[in-house]
Structure 1
Amino acid sequence: MTAPIALTLGDPVGVGPEIAVKTADLVRPTSPYTPVLVGDIEAAKRGAQACGVTTPLISISHPGQAGHVDGLAVWDTGVLGTDLPEWGKVDARAGKAAVTAIEWATKAAMDKEVTAVVTAPINKEAIWASGSTHLGHTEMLKELTGAAWSDTMFVVRNGPTHLRIFFSTRHVALRVALEQLRDPELVSQAINRAVESLKAFGVDHPRLGVAAVNPHGGENGNFGDEEIISIRPACEDARKRGLDVHGPIPADSVFHQGLEGRFDGVLSHFHDQGHIPAKTVDFNGTISVTVGLPILRTSVDHGTAFDIAGTGVANHLTMQSAFEAAVDYAPFVPKIRQAYLS
């Protein structure tokens, strides 16, 4: 029997419990991997009630029991008990519950007790209030797994012709990102990691498109010089090393070219440059995969949506897409572990 796939509940006062329970309920009858919800069972039950799921939620003490219950298995972390915080409010206890679920699921993945971890959204302010110093999921997972590095890979239109989007910089102000991008070594490192990740996730001969930053690719320095100073030299260096890297390509073209099948992945350079095209093309289907970790982790690409939490209107499709992507990538877990295990 294959190890189950863990779905964390995320922040228990956000939409996480609703979309995780709804997803588990929908995929359980047909998926080759049993879903196991990780978090407080009372939060899961409240989420089920909010979104209309009537399948029984059964508490288990080990992920291996997930396939042997007549209902939805919940690996109950027991942080909150029956005293649940109010929907949609930043709460330190909720932050602690979210962090605990991540810790349990990650350890289980490292111990091969679950095949993959699919995470619901957390609230950064809540996890900081709980005492965590991590900026978010990615940084927390990096520390928990002992990974040397971790990055985000977006998967757009998951399927035979899907596109993967990588990022040179992450959660920093645009002004700071542009300053960082003047370093050719930073761009070279981002190219190397993107290519390495494509190989780890099943692309034997990756083709990578590298976005430009400035309009029209900078027009030979007239509209900006990041392409001249760092991006083009990094691309040229990659090609000299035998990598199939193309760029810099104007950002208003490169993502379309990727979706048309010219590239297996596109390297974007700052947060919104990659997020906007991905979410415009496939908002409910775009999912996030954390690369660089010795475990398979997929996630929704949206936040806790406190404004609608508990109302039952939250769309579960991105969470379901994240679960389905975990199923698709599950055969590569040994390769992923080999590539990234320190």
Structure 2
Amino acid sequence: PFRRRQQEPSGLSGAEKWQAKRKQEQRQRALSGLQLRLRDRAKLIGTAFIIVMVLLAAGSALFYLHQQGTFVLEDITISGNSQISDLTVIAELEYLKGRGMFSFSTAEVEDKLLTAFPYLRSVYARKKLPGELEVEVVERFPVMSYINLSGVYLIDEESVVVGQLASQEVTALTNSERLIVDGFGDINAEYVYEKYLAGIDNEEERKNVKWEEVPEDQKQAALAGLRDELDIRVNNLINNNLEILSASQFADLPRVQALDAEQWQVGRPMAEDRYQYSIAIINYFADTGVTVVKLLWQSDFTAVAHLTDGRQVIFTSTTSIDEQISKLEVVRSQVDLNGVSVIDLRGEFVAVK
């Protein structure tokens, strides 16, 4: 721009002339700054316009190529898998083949596989133009088997149920039945009375029974009969599940047995407390060179570890597992365990037998 030369006003003092000149310079600097800002803004708008046009052109080109069938999914490759075959995973994604590469998202692929295969810990999908989908998976591996009345479940290190070898809906044991199975039945309980009456064929004799006068040994016999019936029922269910496990590729996993009838859902964690105690016991003995052949939860509060050296170690869920393991460490380091078959950690003091 042209600068107009201003004629200096006459009749002004030196100070007034200096102030007028200073104001004139300030106006010139302000005008120059405004011009620079306008020029920078124009450059920015121009650059943004160019970027938008490039993106629009690229998008239009991709859309055109997609419409022409240039980017169509043809190949799916799987990596990171060992338990599950490539074909099994690819079969789950077969519906995507022949579709445009931009008609589906990688998130859709990942969610689809995680839902279909609960034993996958993570899935990462990546598109590779012109027509390839790469899928990388991380699998879950079972560290123990859990056998209860309802079935056989495979559990990983995060307590997630990663597999189910058998499952059936069965009636859970009642609290009274659990007490009987655990050896804590009450000979004076109603269920023993009913069992005693069921053993009397004569109806008149049944009516005349005075329960308080029945000898204790007969009550004990009725309770023993109840326990025998429950043992048969429980053993049939457990043994059937054990046969299924023994015939599988997971037969050598540490086994945890319990008398609950919970049907654990694949892909979901099992009861946290039960898992934490079980895995802590299994891992402790593994570090000592002894394997837990079977960890039997006799009740909600008592777990018996059957070891490869023939010993049994009894734990309780009412006390910290770390505290019990510390006591066991002291016993193993300071006590001669030759001839000892049972170590009971449930009480304040350790009992050995």
Give the TM-score band, short-chain normalised. Answer: under 0.3
State the TM-score, normalizing by the size of structure 2.
0.22
State the TM-score, normalizing by the size of structure 1.
0.23
